[in-house]
Structure 1
Amino acid sequence: MFTGIITGIGTLVRVDRDQTGERSEWGDTRMVVESQYDCESILIGASIAHSGACMTVVEKEQTAEGCRYAFDVSDESLDKTTLSDWKVGHKINLERAMTAADELGGHLVSGHVDQVGELISREALAGSLKLTFQAPADLMATIAPKGSITIDGVSLTVNMVEDAQFSVNIIPHTAEVTTLGQLQPGDKVNLEIDLIARYVARYLSQMRDKS
């Protein structure tokens, strides 16, 4: 589990997948990230959220810059997230899994991306930045004003919901310490809806199917 509070920005330094698009020898795409984390504090098998997508550390190496570690990405994850578009040099919001002693500063985040959204517009507004996104219709039904949503791993409060779009406001600090401040219209983002909304939507879907 995660909180949606970013603890670092990593850089994608290697992607191992055959140029023909075939799977690599271990069956998945392997990505290597350079982070400022201390390698000694990261165990093999540890969970780290990468712009909202939870991945498992399978290799690690201490470098002068910090910790360089690898994780494997299944084809399912590539299909359901923005990871399939990542190239070497891509900046990634990082959050390590929470512990029982951590402060829950954001909201409970599973690290399981629901769908991909797209930034429609950005607007400077009273010292903050208003970001408006478009999301798939079935996901919009679970997004509510003043509810929580995770965008590229960042816990945020929804301000406006209208048709197939919703907006959030981010303060200068959030724009500086996450990748959200660099987003431009047309950029794709990973979206995770609130956990409660996810199960309510599932329950209502089951009830409709039985009626």
Structure 2
Amino acid sequence: MFTGIIEAVGKVKSIKLNASGARVMIASGNLDLSDVKLGDSIATNGICLTVVDLDDASYSADVSKETLTRTGFTNYASGTKVNLEKAMLPTTRFGGHMVSGHVDGIGKITAINTVGNSIEYWIELADNLKQYVAEKGSITVDGTSLTVNSVDENKFRLTIVPHTTEQTIISTYKVGQLVNLEVDLIARYIERLLFCREQDCNQATSSGISKELLLNSGFIK
């Protein structure tokens, strides 16, 4: 689990395709790797990656074909800048929102406008994701927790303050660029609850847990 508050900006050192996907090496920049061990998770442009090799200044991870398909990794190359965040600790200050590191899809930047000392970005997203985006709600863009300022059909507007621009890769964005998007987890759970009110979600899962069992056990009312 992550918070969407970027800790450092790194760079892709290499991407080597293989039968199962790819092995990527990331230069960690100012990210402190002293407390990272093999098997830990690091959000890399919003993608939860498991560390399989590391040294003082970089880490490597395997990227599955599924991840290559759903994210912008297919457009990355050596030198591409990426946002970095280590997995949160129980004692971490929760400055952003709940971020899983599981990218839902890719968005496209359609407009960039300067407003005072801030910059506005309009991002277009796929029709199957637009119902999860709400004005003043949260969304993760390349791993950064951001507030949606307005929504227009399948586009949403972000207003980025100078501090966020300085601490992330947002300053490199251009019109037409693709970005990784993760919608708010709470929105997905609400959708599922509403669906279950209309559909038959009472049947047991493969684990034997059913709505009836949870009701009888006092977990739900």
Which TM-score applies when normalising by structure 2? 0.86
Output the amino acid matched with 1:13: K
* Aligned match for 2:102, one of 94, 103, 112: 112
Structure 2, gaps ≥5 residues long:
201-221
Aligned counterparts, 1:166-185, within 5 A: 166-185=156-175
CA contact (8 A) 2:147 2:158 kept: yes
Over 3 Å counting, the alpha-carbon distance change for 1:100 and 1:185 in structure 2 is: same
Counterpart of 2:54 in structure 1 is 60
CA contact (8 A) 2:149 2:156 kept: yes
Aligned pairs, how many?
Answer: 200
* SS of match in other structure, 2:6: coil
CA contact (8 A) 1:30 1:71 kept: yes
Higher mean alpha-carbon deviation, 99-108 vs 39-48, is at 39-48
Output the amino acid matched with 1:29: A
Q: Give the superposition deviation at 1:145.
A: 0.2
Output the amino acid matched with 1:98: M
Instruction: Please give the alpha-carbon distance, in whole angstroms, between the structure 1 residues aligned to 2:23 and 2:199.
Output: 39
* Aligned match for 1:51, one of 26, 45, 49: 45
Instruction: Please give the alpha-carbon distance, in whole angstroms, between the structure 2 residues aligned to 1:38 and 1:73.
Output: 22
Q: Give the superposition deviation at 1:204.
A: 3.6
- 1:87 maps onto 2:80 in alignment: no
Output the amino acid matched with 2:23: R
- 1:75 maps onto 2:65 in alignment: yes
Q: Give the superposition deviation at 1:208.
A: 5.3
Which TM-score applies when normalising by structure 1? 0.90
Structure 1, gaps ≥5 residues long:
none
Instruction: Please give the alpha-carbon distance, in whole angstroms, between the structure 2 residues aligned to 1:127 and 1:137.
Output: 32
Counterpart of 2:25 in structure 1 is 32
Q: Give the superposition deviation at 1:70.
A: 0.3
Counterpart of 1:188 in structure 2 is 178
Instruction: Please give the alpha-carbon distance, in whole angstroms, between the structure 2 residues aligned to 1:147 and 1:101.
Output: 25
CA contact (8 A) 1:148 1:157 kept: yes
Q: CA RMSD in A?
A: 1.5
Q: Give the superposition deviation at 1:110.
A: 0.7
CA contact (8 A) 1:175 1:182 kept: no
Counterpart of 2:209 in structure 1 is none
Q: Give the superposition deviation at 1:137.
A: 1.1
Counterpart of 1:10 in structure 2 is 10
Over 3 Å counting, the alpha-carbon distance change for 1:126 and 1:200 in structure 2 is: same
Percent identical: 40
Q: Give the superposition deviation at 1:73.
A: 0.1
Counterpart of 1:96 in structure 2 is 86
CA contact (8 A) 1:51 1:153 kept: yes
